[in-house]
Amino acid sequence: MSVRERAQRLAAVGSLGVRKEHLIQYGVTAITACLVLAPLVPVVYTSFLDRPLYDTGGILSLDNYVRLLSDAEFHEVIRDTLYFAFLTTLISVGLGVVMAVVIGRTDLPGRSILGEIMLWPIYLSPLVIAFAWVIMYSPAGYGTLLVKNLLHVQPWNLYTIPGMAAVAAVALMPIAYLYCSSSAAVADPALEDAARTAGAGPLRILLSVTLPLMRPPILYSAVLIFTIGLEVLSIPMILGGPVGIDFFSSYLYNKWLGGAQPDYGLVGAAAVFLLLIVTALVLLQNALLRDTSRFVTVRGKATRPHIFRLGWVRWALSAFILLYVLLAAILPMVGLIMQAFTKFLTPLAPPWRFLTLQNFAVIFSYPAYTRSITNSIVIAVIGGVLTTFFVALIALVAHRSEFRLGRVLDFLAIYPRAMPGMIVGIGFFWAFVLVKPLGPIRNTIWALTIAFSVRYLPVAFGAITPMLARLGAELDDAARTAGADWWTTCWQILLKLLKPALYSSFILLFIQLIKEYGAAVFLVAPGSEVMGLTMLQFWVQGEAGPVAALSLVQVAITMAVVYGSRKIFKVKIYA
């Protein structure tokens, strides 16, 4: 029988197949380990060195740490950073929970549209949001002056830590909203019914059952937002810069780029310090998530949560949310648009008198601007594609093979969550200096592509693994018994079934990569500029108009990709 002969031939070829399988598995693990450790090792190493890495004869000592901890400026930085991160977390999580419950669980008018709008800031760079807020609400901002002329008092001061926290909270609130609303939407209504039959009214249920059950997403998003608060660079640079408030990230930035001679050792020590705090937070987050069975609210049965009826309050709440959206997102964006299309922006004269396309003309005539646009797009597209494929491989090796180091690989892939972008940047800076064969890519956009991609490995991993977990293991088993080796099974069955997750991973990465700049601070070179960093640098030089225009270009690209992908690939991002 010919089929039998074929089977024998298949068996003969197969012995090579086993080796191929191991080659791929060990290869993927080795590359992942290199990518994740490449930035870590040099950062830690330099923190103990008494001179720059490239100088010979370095002596290991704790000197950098002693200097760092005795630096009064650093103490102030720590205090301010923690205060800022704490305040940001409080505001954004508080708002996020309220929005999630009100939009997800009540009969609020226009809730589906409001739910959509709530997510907008997630597509924007915190940098752009900070620009927009400064244009509108800074002491010399359009909105501030408008109010000041009306009331003849200074209404608020954005250049304070609470002001900065407000901006950060607007940018980060969608994270809390997203986690809480997905949990609120799938909660088992039987739990609330039980409280109801026990005699509890709607408000009582909300406070005693619904909210406590949301504890895991609340804690999880709180830790996540706190972490981002510790490492965000745009806000201290843009809002703190004018009044001399420094956070961790801007401290690193200034110590590296501010002086004539960068204090590498001090930066290394501060970076390790930040790394330790963030790692501890991520471990805390994992520990919080471990014991979550108490909060298991989703059972196999498909149900639909009840809608709380609010009565007349719903109109008031709806108005409140609209006001929030108007003040926090829409007005600042309007300010940004006005800034981009005018020569001067002042409340003393109507903006159409100064209408101009000059700012856009500037962008497209300066090579540094245009290059940063094309570079960002190239990095986002190529980094997005390569990272998606590589992370898909990682997920398959870690979760769908008998590979012994699967758990190690799993950990490596999510560890970059604990690596702030700036530290990835510093680390890769040293890695490219130290590893001579990597020299040629050092000052190119490929250095940035690698660093950005490493930073967002966990984003892709988080987009792919849940879907992989939903594909029953018997699909692999069926392919294996039918005669496919591990790699053929992955390629022909699993990757094809993962397609939707691969698309959303790519889109998520694209959104992140196009706005990333933190890791670029230390890696950028003439010719490899990216949008975010270009905007930051030109802003600091006072070029508000072109920066606003460039911000709009970035927003337009992101929106085009997000909505295009929804239409073309039917990708549900953040579903």
Q: Which residues bind another protein (CB under 8 A)?
A: 1-4, 6-7, 9-11, 14, 17-18, 472, 474-475, 477-485, 488, 492-493, 496-497
User: Which amino acid appears at position 339 of this protein?
Assistant: Q
CA 492 from centroid of its chain's CA atoms: 32
Angle at the Cα of 502 (from 222 to 465), degrees rounded to 5? 50
What are the backbone angles phi and psi of residue 49, rounded to the nearest 5°?
A: -95, 145
Q: How far is the CB of 392 from another protein (least distance, A)?
A: 16
Q: Which is nearer to another protein, 192 or 485 (CB)?
A: 485
Q: Which is nearer to another protein, 149 or 492 (CB)?
A: 492
Q: How far is the CB of 10 from another protein (least distance, A)?
A: 5
Q: Which is nearer to another protein, 167 or 479 (CB)?
A: 479
Q: Which is nearer to another protein, 5 or 291 (CB)?
A: 5
Angle at the Cα of 563 (from 558 to 566), degrees rounded to 5? 130
Q: How far is the CB of 393 from another protein (least distance, A)?
A: 19
Q: How far apart are CA 231 and CA 423, in angstroms?
A: 9
Q: How far is the CB of 567 from another protein (least distance, A)?
A: 22
Long-range (24+ apart) CB contacts under 8 A made by 314-320 are 314/106, 314/107, 314/108, 314/109, 315/109, 317/102, 317/106, 317/108, 318/108, 318/109, 318/110, 318/114
Residue 306 and residue 321 in contact, taking contact as beta carbons nearer than 8 Å: no
Q: Which residues, other chains included, contact 330 with Cβ-Cβ below 8 Å and sequence gap of 6+?
A: none
H/E segment holding residue 79? helix 72-105
Q: How far is the CB of 384 from another protein (least distance, A)?
A: 23
Q: How far is the CB of 386 from another protein (least distance, A)?
A: 24
Q: Which is nearer to another protein, 7 or 559 (CB)?
A: 7
Q: How far is the CB of 570 from another protein (least distance, A)?
A: 15
Q: Which is nearer to another protein, 190 or 482 (CB)?
A: 482
Q: Which is nearer to another protein, 18 or 319 (CB)?
A: 18
Q: How far apart are CA 64 and CA 66, in angstroms?
A: 5
Q: Which is nearer to another protein, 411 or 491 (CB)?
A: 491
Q: Which is nearer to another protein, 410 or 476 (CB)?
A: 476
Q: How far is the CB of 273 from another protein (least distance, A)?
A: 41
Q: How far apart are CA 451 and CA 533, in angstroms?
A: 15
Q: Can you say whether the dihedral through the CA atoms of 262, 62, 429, 448 is positive or negative?
A: negative
Q: How far is the CB of 2 from another protein (least distance, A)?
A: 6
Angle between helices 499-515 and 544-568 (to 10 degrees): 180
Q: How far is the CB of 514 from another protein (least distance, A)?
A: 31
Q: Radius of gyration of the chain from Cα atoms?
A: 26
Q: Which is nearer to another protein, 15 or 112 (CB)?
A: 15
Q: Which 3 state secondary structure label does DSSP give 160?
A: coil
Angle between helices 531-540 and 126-137 (to 10 degrees): 30
Q: State the alpha helices, DSSP H only, in 48-71.
A: 63-69
